[in-house]
Amino acid sequence: MTGAIQLPYKTPWFTFSLESAAACLAMRGHPTAYHAVLNQCVTLSCAKRFLDGCAGTHTGIPHARIGDFSCLEQYTVSFRFGLPYCREIIRELLHKGFYIYCNGVDGYDLPGMSGYGLRHGHNDGILCGYDDNDGTYSIAAYDSTRCFRQIWLPQECFEEGLRSCLAHGAYSTMTACRMRDLRVRLNEGQMLRYLSLYLEADTDVFSPLQSERSTVEGIAVQELLALYFGRLACGEIPLSRADRQALRAVWEHRKCMLDRLELLERRHGWGSAFSSRYRPLVDAAYRDRMLYAVSCRSRRPDLLEVLQGALRAEKAAERTILSDLLCTVEKDERDLGRCRNPQGAS
């Protein structure tokens, strides 16, 4: 059987993890799917293992995996049992409109991806299409320069990467997902509850509450990242082992937060009271990523110290803006209650 198909592709809202990117790709063309992201993807998380000498931060946005979105239809297949039929399964799923998140493919065998021909490793990617005319798959993934983009890979190389990982005991799977035929409604109450929890997170990452956890969540993540940059700057963690993706989730989180603020402003008639103050923080997050990349490439610990101070200042500004928003919501609710019950208010 020969054929070809390319599913619609727009840059995902989140690319800090490829599983989250797969969920976003499946929702990207739907008119109300972004409401699910605004409703539930409100906080940040970061692993604390670097405090014990590990190099990675694993910074991310919780509730953004495929299984977290009830608006997605999804199926998971193990390649350990389905490898002989993987081409047929992949083609059938793509023709039915499913984006396919593949987890457990050896990057050594994948041209254009990080690690190709250099080292064996456990890679993932998102199948978005295939073309039997030239024997390729369209895969959204990080390339050799760590840029997220579409890459056309030979089908044989993809399958060899699967066989290699399976031979080394990996549990390679594919999870297919597509948007259900439904309307996703905004849940402002949930959004505001999560926003309050985001701000209430204990900012002392060494407190007894936080010390029992392997990860930190909420606005405190930015303080933890500032500590990480401090350890890179003083050499406790070698710059050669720096987590190059440490700030991607922060930038994507702030872009989503800005959209959330603009939506709340439209619903409540607040003009641009909060988004105009928050937008510079989105721009700052992008600059932070660029500064971090330069500091890692040029081995400039002094730039990391600048970044450390900038991140702490931005965290303080974000706390003020979002706290002001929650106070405004509470005030509006009190005023509305007085209007509905004028006798009780007197």
In this predicted model, what pLDDT tens digit does every residue of 99-154 receive, in sequence order? 999 988 877 777 777 666 667 777 899 999 999 999 999 999 998 788 899 999 99
What is the per-residue pLDDT across 172-203, written as a single tens digit (0 to 9) for each?
A: 899 999 999 999 999 999 999 999 999 997 65
Give the Cβ contact number of residue 136 at 10 Å: 19
pTM score, whole prediction: 0.91
Q: What percent of the chain has pLDDT over 70?
A: 90
**Is the four-CA dihedral 251, 239, 141, 73 of positive or negative sign?**
negative
Residue 57 CB partners (closer than 8 Å, separation 6+): 46, 47, 50, 224, 225, 228, 243, 246
Neighbours of 272 (CB within 10 A): 13
Q: Kindly write down the DSSP assignment for every residue of 249-301, as one continuous string.
A: HHHHHHHHHHHHHHHHHHHHT-TTTTHHHHHHHHHHHHHHHHHHHHHHHHT-H
**pLDDT tens across 18-36, in order?**
999 999 999 999 999 999 9
pLDDT digits (tens, 9 = 90+) for 48-95: 887 776 668 899 999 999 999 999 999 999 887 777 888 999 999 999
Residue 15, SS3 per DSSP = coil
Contact, 293 vs 245, CB < 8 A?
no
Q: Which segments within 206-254 are labelled E, that is strand?
A: 215-217
Closest CA to 325 of 288, 271, 247: 271
